[in-house]
């Protein structure tokens, strides 16, 4: 239980610090508006899976993904002075499609509601 709590706390620190690095220190113009939504850390604290969302269309999502992938080393180096741990985790980025999925479900619900017999214009 102690290891799980430690990993959760470590993930919270990483989320905060990686968000700041992306927002303030990552100067790539193709970055777009990236929000870190979740960070999961492996039990041994050696791998940090960073889930993010991007404001914009599919093209912007692709650009942001490329920027984050090539900036992973930079972000990891920027974490060095802040993270007080024996190991500095490898940072891996994953697009968080939760909002996209929720939007699709919401559209389906509205379509079902609009197509129901009581809502048709006759």
Is 109 among the domain residues? Answer: no
Domain tally for the chain? 1
In this prediction, residue 68 has a pLDDT band, given cuts at 50, 70 and 90, of very high
**Residue 119 in domain:** no
- The boundaries of the domain holding residue 75 are 2-97
Position 107 in a domain:
no
| Statement: residue 121 has pLDDT above 60 | no
In this predicted structure, the answer to whether residue 92 has a pLDDT above a threshold of 90 is yes
**36 is a domain residue:** yes
pLDDT in tens, 32-57: 999 999 999 998 899 999 999 999 89
pLDDT of 122 above 80 = no
Q: How confident is the model at residue 1 (pLDDT cuts 50, 70, 90)?
A: low
At 38, which CATH number?
3.30.300.20
10 CB-near residues (< 8 Å, 6+ apart): 41, 45, 85
Residue 120 lies in a domain: no
């Amino acid at each position: 239980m102690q290891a799980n709590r430690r990993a959760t706390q470590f993930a919270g620190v990483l989320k905060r610090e990686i968000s700041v690095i992306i927002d303030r220190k990552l100067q790539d113009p193709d970055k777009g508006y990236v929000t870190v939504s979740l960070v999961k850390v492996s039990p041994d604290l050696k791998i940090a899976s960073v889930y993010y969302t991007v404001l914009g269309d599919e093209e912007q999502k692709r650009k942001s993904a490329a920027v984050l992938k090539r900036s992973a080393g930079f972000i990891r180096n920027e974490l060095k002075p802040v993270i007080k741990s024996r190991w500095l985790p490898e940072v891996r980025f994953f697009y968080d499609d939760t909002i996209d999925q929720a939007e699709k479900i919401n559209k389906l619900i509205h379509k079902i509601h609009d197509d129901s017999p009581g809502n048709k214009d006759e």
